[in-house]
Amino acid sequence: SILYMIASPKESWMGWLLLEAGMTNKAFSAELSELPAMLTWVRSHLDQTSLPKPEKMRLEIAMEEAIINVIHHAKTEEKLHLTVRHMPGRQIEFDLIDSGAPFNPLTHPQAEEDIPLEEQTPGGKGLVLMRKCTDALLYRREGECNILTLVKKIE
């Protein structure tokens, strides 16, 4: 696979980012006011897939939850980068890349699904939703960046 190196002098926290051919990356301010623009960007890429509409909607919901969690919890002044990799006929992957404090949401306790919502303690419900709406969730820390990947298979 061919790799391209890109760098942005304004966003030194990102350093050099390796992008595979076919990847698309867009930076947004890490603010809730940017959520509609982020979801429009996500939707534009989902519309290029052969996923059935209900599956597109589920992945968009998972992305919305992930984006909101990053905005609320990363507490970063830097940009939030969204990356998409579309492998036609195989899968689509979205990365959320932020420079907040290290946080692996996959090790965070999940909400109990069999406990009524009003009896649950805060936290973990978004992760349950993201897991239900994707085929895989992956996390890694590279340098100063948290990278959360949401994967949806295309059948």
Give the pLDDT of residue 18.
44
83 in a domain, yes or no?
yes
Give the pLDDT of residue 51.
95
Instruction: Specify whether the CB–CB gap between 21 and 2 falls below 8 A.
Output: yes
Give the pLDDT of residue 20.
53
Calpha distance 81→35 (Å, rounded)? 12
120 in a domain, yes or no?
yes
If phi > 0 it is left, if psi is from -120 to 50 it is alpha, else beta; for residue 50 that is alpha
What range does the domain containing 56 cover? 23-153
CATH of the domain at 113: 3.30.565.10
119 in a domain, yes or no?
yes
The helices-and-strands tally (H runs, E runs) of the chain is 3, 7
Give the pLDDT of residue 4.
39
4 in a domain, yes or no?
no
Give the pLDDT of residue 109.
66
Calpha distance 88→14 (Å, rounded)? 28
Residues in the chain where the model's pLDDT stays below 70? 1-22, 109-124
The number of folded domains in the chain is: 1
Mean pLDDT of the chain, nearest integer: 81
Starting at the edge strand found earlier in the chain, the sheet holding 136-142 runs 23-29, 79-87, 91-98, 145-153, 136-142
